[in-house]
A and B are shown apart, each in its own frame.
Chain A
Amino acid sequence: KNEVEQSPQNLTAQEGEFITINCSYSVGISALHWLQQHPGGGIVSLFMLSSGKKKHGRLIATINIQEKHSSLHITASHPRDSAVYICAVRSRGAGSYQLTFGKGTKLSVIP
């Protein structure tokens, strides 16, 4: 069973700061997802990646398969980025689509 660990658990940043959230997992995967959970509870998929790096606006996600580690970066953070960021992995295996989730990182960006 894959264990997904995120750090930090909580993060407070000043507006404009560069933010990094880390995720590590224990068993080989076919894909890693970064998700954003809003205060109301809704979940939005930010990235799905299996290698390298992806960028969307101010968000960048990287993954190192050998080290079983991924990072989510937010450049020029803004109060509207305040949310819980969740890492989830899909383990390898034919037909395996279930996700295993980390506990999330609660980000608060202060103006």
Chain B
Amino acid sequence: EPEVTQTPSHQVTQMGQEVILRCVPISNHLYFYWYRQILGQKVEFLVSFYNNEISEKSEIFDDQFSVERPDGSNFTLKIRSTKLEDSAMYFCASSPSNQPQHFGDGTRLSIL
């Protein structure tokens, strides 16, 4: 069965550094999402992406965040100047349209 794959599984970064989290959505899916889960808290929506542009974003998704689909397969989340509070599990998801979202296994981001 097709899967959403995320790399790396764990990323350790110094505060203030830029980090790029990578996702390969399922190939025929059109909608892409990023979520985050701070340890012990609920999952939170960050951004949705369709037709090469952001379709929705939450108040968490401020100017330090950006998303890109640089080619036909990858979907990336960039955090420009990381803060301690950016430490979380980041999940990518994709869906064909009005269908259940398929989630990746997540990238655990640790900011030191």
Contact = CB atoms under 8 A, between A and B. Distances in A.
Interface of A: 31, 33, 35, 40-45, 47-48, 86, 88, 95-104
Contacts of B104: 42
For the complex, would chain B's binding face be called helix, strand, loop or mixed by DSSP majority? strand
Interface of A is mostly: strand
Interface in B24-45: 31, 33, 35, 37, 41-45
Given A88-B43, A98-B45, A45 B56 contact: no
29 contacts: A31-B98, A41-B37, A41-B106, A41-B108, A42-B103, A42-B104, A42-B105, A42-B106, A43-B106, A44-B103, A45-B100, A45-B101, A45-B102, A45-B103, A48-B100, A86-B42, A88-B43, A95-B56, A97-B33, A97-B48, A97-B56, A97-B95, A98-B48, A98-B56, A99-B35, A99-B45, A100-B45, A101-B43, A104-B42
Given A40-B105, A41-B108, A101-B42, A48 B56 contact: no
Contacts of A102: 42
Interface residues of B, number: 27
A87 to B, nearest CB: 10
Interface of B: 31, 33, 35, 37, 41-45, 48, 50, 55-56, 58, 89, 91, 95, 98-106, 108
B64 to A, nearest CB: 19
